Structure formats: C-alpha cells, structure tokens
Amino acid sequence: MSKIQRIADAVEMGTAKQVAVLVMKALNEGCDPTEILNRGMVDAMGVVGEKYRSNEIFVPEMLAAARAMKKGVEILRPYLATGKSASAGKMILGTVAGDLHDIGKNLVGMMIESVGFEVIDLGIDVPIEKFIKAVEANPDAILVGCSALLTTTKRSLRETVVALNSQPFRSRIKIMVGGAPITQAFADEIGADGYSENAAEAAELAKRLAGLV
Amino acid sequence: MIIIGEKLNGAIPLVAQAIAKRDGQCIRELAKRQADAGADFIDICASVDQGEAETLKWMIEQVESVTDVPVSIGSPSTEVLVEVYRFCNKPGLFNSTSMEKRKQIEQIFHIMKEQSGWRAIAMLCDDAGIPKSVEERLSVFDAIMEKAKAHGIDPARIYIDPMAEAAALMDPEQEDGPGISVYTKVVGAIRRKYPTIHIISAISNISYQLPARKYMNGSLAALALAYGVDSGILNPLSRELLGVIKASEALLALPTKAFEQLINAVKENRGKGNGLLKLEGFEDEEGQKALEQAATVLAMGAGADVKLPTTDRNLNGMVYAARALLGRDEDGHCLEYIKAYKHGLFGV
C-alpha cells in the first residue's frame, strides 16, 4: 500500500494521531505536500462524505475524519508553498442575524474545509453588513454560505441573501444556504445559487459552485 | 422528574400537517395521551413561517379542551410568548428565555412578577452563543439569577436549561473534560447553590444524528437525575424512557447505604441486586428491566465499569451510551457506541 493511501485510510478511519504520524513520515520520505493534501486527505474526505450521504456512516465518524484531516493539514501547512496554494477557494460562512445556532454551520464549515476550501467563519447572529464587509475585505472569496435554523430566522436569511444580491460584487460570488427549515424551493425563491440538505452535500455543492467538478 | 411533553411540535411532520389543516382532533389526542402518560406540562411549538401567535392560540384551545395539565409555550420569540400567554386559562411555562439581548429576559420576569403562577425556562446562553466552559456557563447563570432577584422571582419558578449538547457533536478535546462533563459540572454547581431551583434538559437532543436514540436518551435521563436535574422535555409516550426515569428516581431515593450496595452489586457485575424494588405502574418484568438499566447507568456514573458486551441487548445499548456520555469511549465522541451498534450488539 502506498504512503498516500495509508494516509487516506487513516483519515477515513478518523484516527488523528495516526494521520499526523503518517503525514510526517511521508514528508520525510520526500512525498509532494500537495499530493499528500489532495490525494491523501481531500480525496479521502470525498469518500467519507459519500459514505455519509449513503447512510453508511454517522455524523461522529464524519467529524472524526474531518478532525483527523485537520491534524494532518496542521503538519502539512508549513510545507505547502504559499505561491501555489492548494486552496480550492475562499468561503465566507455564517449563521444569519437573530439566529444563534452554530452546530450545523460548524459541521458545514469543517466539511467544506476538508474538501480544500479556506473558510472564514463569521460565527452566529451575523448582521447583513458583516457579510457584505467580509466579502469586500476578501476579494478572493468565491463563496458565501448562510445558515438559518429557525422558521423565524428564515426571514433574516431572505433579507441577507437579497442584500447580497444587490451588491456590486455579486457576480464574483456564489451564495449557498442551508438549515433545518430551508428547502431548495426557498433557496430559489430568495435568489441563492445553491442549497444543500446536510454538511456532506454542502461540500459537494461548494465544489460544484466553484466550478471544480 | 417533572415531565414536559414534547410531542406537540410543528417540527414533527405529523403535527405540522395537523397545524396546516387545523386538524384539532390530532392535536387534542396527542395532548390527552401525553397527559394520561403523566406529563406535567404539554409543550406546544408552532414552527410556522407566519401566524405563529395565532397558531399557538389555536393549539392552546385544543390542549385546554381535553386536559387540565398546564401548557408550556414554545417559541424563540419573546414577542410571541408575551402575546400568547394571555390565552391560557391556567398559568403555564414560558419556553424559553435566555441572556440573549433579543430575548429580553426582563420582559418575561416582569410578567412573572404580575402573574404569580407563570414559570419560565431560562437557557444558559447569551449573544455569544452557548459558552464552552463551565465557568462561562455559570456566569450566564449568575446573570440570569441577578435579573430574577431584581424582579423578586422565586428561584423555584425558574427552570434552568444548562444546555446538554448533542453527543454526536461533542469535541473529544474540549476543555473542562470529556463527554457531558461540562453539563454535569454546571448542573452540580447550580444544584448546590439553589436547592429549590428547577434544572431542565431537552432529553432527546442528546441523541441527535445517532442511531438507536432511545439508549442515549435513557442514559442521559438517568445521569442527569443523578447530578440534580429534576425536569425534562421529552416524549412521555415512550414507556422505556419513562421506565428508566422512574427507576432512576426510585434508586436515587434509596438510603445511601442501600444505594451503595446496589452500586457495588453492579461493580461486581451482578447487574441486578435490586429485586426488592418495585416500580409503580409497570409490569414486574418491565419494571425490573428498567431498574436494572437505571442501576447500571447510575453505577457507571458513580465510577463503576461494566464488562461488555452483556447478554442483554437493551442493557448493552444503555451501557455503550453511558460510556460515550461519560467520556469513557476510548475512540472519543461516540465512535465506540456506533461501532457496537454496527456490530449488532444493540438496536435493530
């Protein structure tokens, strides 16, 4: 079994310590850091997401894999040349104003990071202006993710997306939305570019919206 | 345990449908069944995009037409709570307030000052979300109690929700200990400080995104009671959950010596040792099973270990769940629980 494959297996198993050791070993033996990241970890997370979607694994297993990958990335980071950044793109993420739920949003953030994006998490109860300022401050952001968990904050989600839609930067970003009361129909109605039902799907959606697949 | 029946929630598809069609029959039946099962409050939550207050008013009418059990009004909006509580014939429970600014906790306490029968659930969170550490969560608690004191509200009218977070999402490396230890430490501290205050938990939240949820719910209920929780938002129609709750209460009410003997019996892996207890309202076998499960989980909470797997699948489910909740799951956050489930040691 190749070193990269071993890393991929350890990520899938969610064994963080093992991932750390294997990544260090692979680096010492001269493996290409970008290769370790993409083939060893990002691809493995793709498999994990797929297994979650097909109900083969549960959330804790997906989370363990995402945490294991994070450990690996921490070790890898100094070796990844900044010039040829391996990042798939930058995303601004947050739960809309009036809503304090962060579990689903954090899960989405972890999964999207795990498929190679850099995620700027604005946190919970994020006012519209904060989303707008974050996109302006990050000219390389290509995705904005907004979460709403309450039927009462659907309105807030609508206002956020409508406000983002009227910004001059709108054409350079794609907006994705999600949360328990949100549906594809609602996402279409408020003018978002995409909706996903769970964190694994959100990662796939992010790749699709970024034109990576 | 003071039971707040959770079944009348618009987030449940069947109830959402009944609300949309104004099918009063369905709402009344669910209210009656929960009351008959021993619920102390019937929670109602509309979960509608528009017309929340009007929907709640209709739900209150349905519930009050079939039972005297008071209503718990569930809404994230304080405006709605304030508008709707007047429609209740009997004082009930506000579900809920917190230290979030938009919740305007003073407004709820102000009403409670005027309306002496009303009570309120107060969640330990503020505008920064749910605090991660024990210390921060307790400082939110202190802030709530300060407001209550300023309004002259007796702690016995307050139901503190210390926020048991979903076990599936617990961080194995969180500060303040593994598993539900932040929660148990917060509960313990509050109980020591305020013997008469109510401490409440939404029991089913713990098992979010996990298989064989009843074991997680049952284990949490037993452990929560042991640490000083006295109220639960839960499904009173689940005989198994109710059994574990009643059994835990019976065991925790034993004299210290008898309880210790029981714990020792479990530690020595004899499991039972409680044949003398009888659970009121339960058939002998059903009651014994519940007692055995509760005794095992309580013993684990007191430090005992149980050899796994046992020959009893239901007991396995409880033990693996308790291990995960107590942070003894070696792989961290529920992975061992899931592995055992996948190996068919419990569940369907």
pLDDT tens for B302-348 read 888 888 888 889 999 999 999 999 999 877 779 999 999 999 999 87
A83's CB contacts (< 8 A; 6+ apart) are none
Beta bridge partners of B281: none
Nearest-Cα residue of chain A relative to residue B168: A60
Whether residues A17 and A100 fall in one domain: no
pLDDT tens for B73-128 read 999 899 999 999 999 999 999 999 999 998 999 999 999 999 999 999 999 999 88
Is A163 among the domain residues? yes
Whether residues A53 and A139 fall in one domain: no
Torsional sign, CA B99, B100, B106, B112: negative
pLDDT of residue A85: 53
CATH code at position A33: 1.10.1240.10
Q: Name the average pLDDT for chain B.
A: 92
Please give the single-letter amino acid code of residue A181.
P
pTM: 0.88
B103 shares contact with chain A (CB less than 8 Å) = no
Cβ atoms of residues B217 and B207 within 8 Å: yes
Rounded Cα distance between B97 and A32, Å, is 53
CA B135 vs. chain centroid, Å, equals 22
Query: Mutating which of B50, B333, B337, B341 best tests the A interface, going by the most A Cβ atoms within 10 A?
Result: B333
Nearest-Cα residue of chain B relative to residue A152: B49
How far does B260 lie from chain A, in Å, by closest CA?
35
Smallest CA-to-CA distance from B102 within A135, A5, A99, A118 is with A99
B79 shares contact with chain A (CB less than 8 Å) = no
Considering only CB atoms, which chain A residues are within 8 Å of B334?
58, 60
pLDDT tens for B190-209 read 999 999 999 999 999 999 88
Is A108 among the domain residues? yes
CA angle (A155, A159, A165) in 5-degree steps: 145
Rounded Cα distance between B20 and B10, Å, is 9
Cβ atoms of residues B114 and B85 within 8 Å: no
* Residue B270 predicted with pLDDT over 80: no
- Domain C-terminal end among A60, A79, A98: A79
pLDDT of residue B267: 66
A137's CB contacts (< 8 A; 6+ apart) are none
Q: Cis link prior to A139 (omega < 30° from 0)?
A: no
Rounded Cα distance between A179 and B175, Å, is 28
Is A175 among the domain residues? yes
* Residue B271 predicted with pLDDT over 70: no
How far does A100 lie from chain B, in Å, by closest CA?
6
- Domain C-terminal end among A28, A44, A79: A79
CB-count burial class (<10 Å; 0-12, 13-18, 19+) for B87: middle
Cβ atoms of residues A69 and A38 within 8 Å: no
B335 vs A61, A125, A181: nearest CB: A61
Whether residues A95 and A120 fall in one domain: yes
CATH code at position A124: 3.40.50.280
Whether residues A68 and A124 fall in one domain: no
Nearest-Cα residue of chain B relative to residue A198: B209
Whether residues A143 and A173 fall in one domain: yes
- Domain C-terminal end among A79, A111, A145: A79
Cβ atoms of residues B346 and B313 within 8 Å: yes
Is A31 among the domain residues? yes
Verify whether the Cβ–Cβ distance A61 to B169 is below 8 Å: no
Whether residues A71 and A126 fall in one domain: no
HEC-encoded secondary structure of chain A: CCHHHHHHHHHHHCCHHHHHHHHHHHHHCCCCHHHHHHHHHHHHHHHHHHHHHCCCCCHHHHHHHHHHHHHHHHHHHHHCCCCCCCCCEEEEEEEECCCCCCHHHHHHHHHHHHCCEEEEECCCCECHHHHHHHHHHCCCEEEEEEECCCHHHHHHHHHHHHHHHCCHHHHHCEEEEECCCCCHHHHHHHCCCEECCCHHHHHHHHHHHCCCC
Q: How far is CA A81 from CA A26, A34, A76, in A?
A: 17, 9, 10
Rounded Cα distance between A127 and A97, Å, is 5
What domain count does chain A have? 2
Rounded Cα distance between A160 and A144, Å, is 11
Whether residues A74 and A170 fall in one domain: no
B100 shares contact with chain A (CB less than 8 Å) = yes
Whether residues A111 and A73 fall in one domain: no
Rounded Cα distance between B72 and B121, Å, is 9
Q: Which two tokens stand for residue A58?
A: 């549960």
Please give the single-letter amino acid code of residue A153.
T
CB-count burial class (<10 Å; 0-12, 13-18, 19+) for A139: exposed
CA angle (B206, B139, B85) in 5-degree steps: 65
Whether residues A75 and A93 fall in one domain: no
pLDDT of residue B66: 98
Is A84 among the domain residues? no
pLDDT of residue B102: 86
State which H helix or E strand residue B319 sits in: helix B313-325
Q: What percent of chain A has pLDDT over 90?
A: 69
User: Which strands make up the sheet holding A117-121, listed edge to edge?
Assistant: A117-121, A89-95, A141-147, A174-178, A194-195
Considering only CB atoms, which chain A residues are within 8 Å of B209?
58-60
Lowest-confidence region among A146-150, A156-160, B18-22, B137-141? A146-150
Segments forming the whole domain that contains residue A120: 89-209
Rounded Cα distance between B107 and B109, Å, is 6
Over residues A90-116, mean pLDDT: 89
Report how far apart the first and last C-alpha atoms of chain B are (Å, whole number): 29
pLDDT of residue A38: 87
**In b/e form, how buried is each residue of A6-39, taking b as 16+ CB within 10 angstroms?**
bbbbbbbbbbbebbbbbbeebbeeebebeebbeb
Report how far apart the first and last C-alpha atoms of chain A are (Å, whole number): 28
Cβ atoms of residues B46 and B58 within 8 Å: no
Whether residues A100 and A205 fall in one domain: yes
pLDDT tens for B197-248 read 999 999 999 998 899 999 999 999 999 999 999 999 999 999 999 999 999 9
Whether residues A102 and A187 fall in one domain: yes
pLDDT of residue B326: 94
Verify whether the Cβ–Cβ distance A64 to B333 is below 8 Å: yes
Rounded Cα distance between A110 and A70, Å, is 9
Q: Hey, what's the torsion of the CAs at A53, A58, A61, A67, to 10 degrees?
A: 70
Whether residues A158 and A66 fall in one domain: no
